[in-house]
């Protein structure tokens, strides 16, 4: 894997599973069937992995003014991480079914809480199975540890901040990880309103992956991000998506390419549309949203 990478290969993970300071978190989840992730985990998972539920562990309950996956309360998330067997000495590996779009949320939350020792499994559980690596069934619980939270408020963007700068969104470099059809408002299978925030840029998180669902090389990611942010790797930007989950995948992608880590608009599209007075755009109209060039 890449030096100083936020990713880990299945081979490298398999070689260190016996390390007591390694904690593996299974983040599989299905938006259409919220109980499916736990069922899949109990049917078979990487040995030693504990299960984190996107709705219950990695998000707070939905509020009338929030998006679909609000941030957990710091104290509650710290308690959950401690229950998972994580403290300041723990190296954490997160995975989901494959692409990492859901596990990236756990990766981001740990970093937001001040814990940088976390990596995402390249290829996820799908790759682990494809290599015929061993799995175990049932539920596992880790020995509890005390997680000391040091939340990074500077990594978050609020709806109020975006509303206050709504006339200059393009200058903030707000990048939306949803697929192009949802961004353009051609389809909307999840949220009540279709479209995007005027001035935002579309970069589907899947562009960071190859046809096999593995992460692209650093060179390919550099090319991708250069087409979106230009050559200044220190430029500031903001990641968003439908509910602040797959946007975290963009953060990993940018870091892998050598670019600055973004702030996250946690509420994302599902929070933005709570107020009908907030502007929206569909198609490629007057705001001319940029879209990253396809990679071969």
Single out the residue in 134, 151, 168 at which a domain terminates: 151
Name residue 209's beta-bridge partners.
215
Considering the candidates 16, 27, 241, 248, report the single residue annotated as catalytic. 241
Residue 221 lies in a domain: yes
DSSP-derived secondary structure letter, 214: P
Low-confidence ranges of the chain (pLDDT < 70): 1-4, 285-296
Single out the residue in 123, 151, 179 at which a domain terminates: 151
Single out the residue in 106, 134, 151 at which a domain terminates: 151
27 carries an active-site annotation = no
Q: Computed from CA positions of residues 267, 269, 274, 276, in that sequence, does the dihedral angle turn out positive or negative?
A: positive
d(CA 197, CA 195): 7
Q: Are residues 18 and 132 in the same domain?
A: yes
Q: Are residues 27 and 120 in the same domain?
A: yes
Q: Are residues 140 and 31 in the same domain?
A: yes
Question: Which pTM does this prediction carry?
Answer: 0.94
Q: Are residues 140 and 11 in the same domain?
A: yes
Q: Are residues 126 and 248 in the same domain?
A: no
Please give the residue range of the domain that contains residue 215: 154-272
Q: Are residues 11 and 147 in the same domain?
A: yes
Residue 291 lies in a domain: no
- Contact assessment for residue 268 and residue 195, using Cβ atoms and an 8 Å cutoff: no
Q: Please provide residue 174's backbone torsions phi and psi, each rounded to the nearest 5 degrees.
A: -85, 115
Residue 32 lies in a domain: yes
How far is residue 145 from each of residues 22, 54, 78, 80, 94, measured CA to CA in Å?
Answer: 13, 21, 10, 10, 18
- E-only strand ranges, 85-138: 91-95, 118-121
DSSP-derived secondary structure letter, 216: P
Q: Which of these, 139, 158, 182, 168, lies nearest to 44 by C-alpha position? A: 139
d(CA 253, CA 190): 24
Tokens representing 191 are 């949220």
Query: Quick one: pLDDT at residue 172?
Result: 96
d(CA 145, CA 35): 27
Q: Are residues 103 and 161 in the same domain?
A: no
Classify strands 174-176 and 7-8 as parallel, antiparallel or unpaired.
Answer: unpaired
Greatest alpha-carbon span in the chain: 56
Query: Quick one: pLDDT at residue 284?
Result: 72
- Contact assessment for residue 54 and residue 27, using Cβ atoms and an 8 Å cutoff: yes
Q: Are residues 64 and 200 in the same domain?
A: no
Q: Are residues 73 and 35 in the same domain?
A: yes
Query: Quick one: pLDDT at residue 4?
Result: 58
d(CA 185, CA 246): 18
Residue 281 lies in a domain: no
Q: Domain count for the chain, please give it.
A: 2
Residue 82 lies in a domain: yes
Tokens representing 238 are 């903001």
Residue 78 lies in a domain: yes
Q: Are residues 126 and 211 in the same domain?
A: no
Q: Are residues 134 and 166 in the same domain?
A: no
Q: Which of these, 160, 164, 180, 156, lies nearest to 238 by C-alpha position? A: 156
Residue 280 lies in a domain: no
CATH number, domain with residue 170: 3.40.250.10
Nearest-5° angle of CA 208, CA 162, CA 173? 35
Q: Are residues 31 and 130 in the same domain?
A: yes
- Contact assessment for residue 10 and residue 123, using Cβ atoms and an 8 Å cutoff: yes
Query: Quick one: pLDDT at residue 5?
Result: 87
Residue 87 lies in a domain: yes
Q: Hey, is 80 helix, strand or coil? A: helix
Nearest-5° angle of CA 156, CA 62, CA 52? 75
Q: Computed from CA positions of residues 7, 113, 240, 232, in that sequence, does the dihedral angle turn out positive or negative?
A: negative
- Contact assessment for residue 10 and residue 131, using Cβ atoms and an 8 Å cutoff: yes
d(CA 267, CA 97): 24
């Amino acid at each position: 894997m890449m030096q100083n990478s936020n990713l880990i290969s299945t081979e490298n993970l398999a070689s260190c599973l016996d390390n007591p300071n390694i904690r593996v978190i299974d983040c599989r989840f299905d938006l259409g069937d919220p109980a499916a992730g736990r069922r899949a985990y109990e049917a078979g998972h990487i040995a030693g992995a504990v299960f984190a539920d996107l709705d219950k562990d990695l998000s707070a309950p939905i509020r009338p003014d929030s998006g679909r996956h609000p941030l957990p309360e710091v104290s509650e998330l710290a308690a959950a991480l401690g229950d998972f067997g994580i403290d300041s000495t723990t190296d954490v590996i997160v995975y989901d079914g494959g692409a990492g779009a859901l596990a990236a949320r756990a990766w981001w939350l740990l970093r937001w809480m001040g814990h940088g020792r976390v990596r995402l499994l390249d290829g996820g559980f799908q790759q682990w199975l494809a290599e015929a690596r061993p799995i175990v069934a049932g539920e596992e619980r880790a020995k509890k540890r005390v997680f000391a939270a040091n939340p990074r408020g500077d990594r978050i963007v609020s709806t109020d901040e975006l509303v206050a700068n709504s006339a200059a969104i393009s200058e903030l470099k707000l990048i939306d990880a949803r697929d192009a059809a949802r961004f353009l408002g051609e389809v909307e299978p999840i949220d009540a309103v279709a479209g995007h925030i005027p001035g935002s840029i579309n970069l589907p998180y899947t562009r960071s992956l190859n046809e096999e669902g593995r992460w692209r090389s650093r060179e390919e990611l550099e090319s991708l991000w250069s087409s979106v942010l230009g050559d200044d790797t220190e430029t500031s930007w903001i990641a968003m998506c439908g509910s602040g989950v797959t946007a975290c995948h963009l953060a990993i992608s940018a870091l892998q390419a050598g670019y600055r880590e973004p702030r996250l608009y946690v509420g994302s599209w599902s929070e933005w549309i709570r107020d009908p007075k907030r502007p929206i755009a569909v198609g490629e109209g007057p705001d001319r949203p940029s879209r990253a060039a396809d990679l071969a």
